[in-house]
Structure 1
Amino acid sequence: MINAFRADIPRLGRVLFRVDAGKVAGLSFGHLERCAVLSRQLLRAGAAATTFLMRPLPDGLARARALGLEVALPELWLKALADGDVLIVDLPFPPEDQVIRAARQAGAYLALLDDTGRDLLPCDLVLNSSVLAEPSMYPRAKKTLLGPAYCILEERYAAARHHGSGDAGLPVVLLTLGGSDPTGLTVRVLRALGALGGAAPACRLQVVLGPGFGEASAVEQAREKLSLASQLHVSPADMLPLFTGCDLAVCAGGRTLYELRALGTPTLALASAPHEARQIDAFLRLGLLQCGVTSWSEDAFLHKLRLMLSRQTRRPTGEDT
Structure 2
Amino acid sequence: NGEKCLRFAFKYFNFLTLVDAGRVSGLGHLMRQNALAHELSARGHRITFGIRHLPQDRKNLKKFFMDIKNSNINWHPGNPNIRTQINLCRPDAVIWDALAFDVYDWSRSVRKSGLPVFAVGNYPSLPGWIRYCVNPYTRTKLSSHKSKLESSPAYCVLSDEFVHARSVIKKRLFKSAGKSGLLIIPGGGNTNGMIFKIVKALETIPAAVRVTIVCGAFFTEIEKLKSEIKKLKCRIDIEQNISSSEMTQLMLKNDLALVSYGRSIDEARALGLPVLILSSSPLNALGAKHAEKQGGVKYLGDFDRLKVPQISAAISGWLNSPPMRRKLSESGMTAVDGAGCVRTADWIEKELTLL
Same fold (TM over 0.5): yes
CA contact (8 A) 1:165 1:245 kept: no
TM-score by length of 2: 0.74
Within the candidate set 146, 153, 159, 2:158 is matched to 153
For 1:271, the equivalent position in structure 2 comes to: 279
Q: Deviations over 1:237-268 (max 9, x none)?
A: 22111112211111122211122112111222
Code of the residue aligned with 1:153 in structure 2: it is: L
Quickly say closer, same or farther: Cα 1:101–1:253, change in 2 above 3 A: closer
- Once the 2 structures are TM-superposed, how far is the Cα of residue 19 of structure 1 from its aligned partner? 1.6
For 2:192, the equivalent position in structure 1 comes to: 183
Counterpart check, 1:91 vs 2:101 = no
Q: Secondary structure at the match of 2:277?
A: strand
Structure 2, unpaired ranges of 5+: 1-8, 69-73, 332-355
Within the candidate set 311, 317, 321, 1:311 is matched to 321
For 1:30, the equivalent position in structure 2 comes to: 28
CA contact (8 A) 1:291 1:308 kept: no
Percent identity over the alignment is 23
- Once the 2 structures are TM-superposed, how far is the Cα of residue 123 of structure 1 from its aligned partner? 2.6
- Once the 2 structures are TM-superposed, how far is the Cα of residue 232 of structure 1 from its aligned partner? 0.9
RMSD: 3.2
Q: When you count helix as a share of all residues, which structure comes out higher?
A: 2
- Once the 2 structures are TM-superposed, how far is the Cα of residue 229 of structure 1 from its aligned partner? 0.8
Code of the residue aligned with 1:190 in structure 2: it is: V
Quickly say closer, same or farther: Cα 1:121–1:209, change in 2 above 3 A: farther
CA contact (8 A) 1:206 1:231 kept: yes
- Once the 2 structures are TM-superposed, how far is the Cα of residue 225 of structure 1 from its aligned partner? 0.6
- Once the 2 structures are TM-superposed, how far is the Cα of residue 129 of structure 1 from its aligned partner? 1.1
Counterparts of 2:42 and 2:228, CA distance in 1: 44
CA contact (8 A) 1:126 1:141 kept: no
Code of the residue aligned with 2:314 in structure 1: it is: K
> Within 5 A, what are the aligned runs for 1:1-321?
11-24=11-24, 27-47=25-45, 49-55=46-52, 57-58=54-55, 60-68=57-65, 70-72=74-76, 73-75=80-82, 76-80=84-88, 82=90, 85-94=92-101, 96=103, 99=106, 102-103=109-110, 108-120=115-127, 122-130=129-137, 132-134=138-140, 136-139=141-144, 142-160=147-165, 161=169, 163=172, 170-194=179-203, 196=204, 200=206, 202-238=208-244, 239-284=247-292, 286=293, 288-289=295-296, 291-295=298-302, 296-312=306-322
**Structure having greater relative contact order (Cα 8 Å, sep ≥ 6):** 2
Moved >6 Å (runs of 4+): 164-169, 313-316
Aligned length: 302
TM-score by length of 1: 0.81
- Once the 2 structures are TM-superposed, how far is the Cα of residue 36 of structure 1 from its aligned partner? 0.8
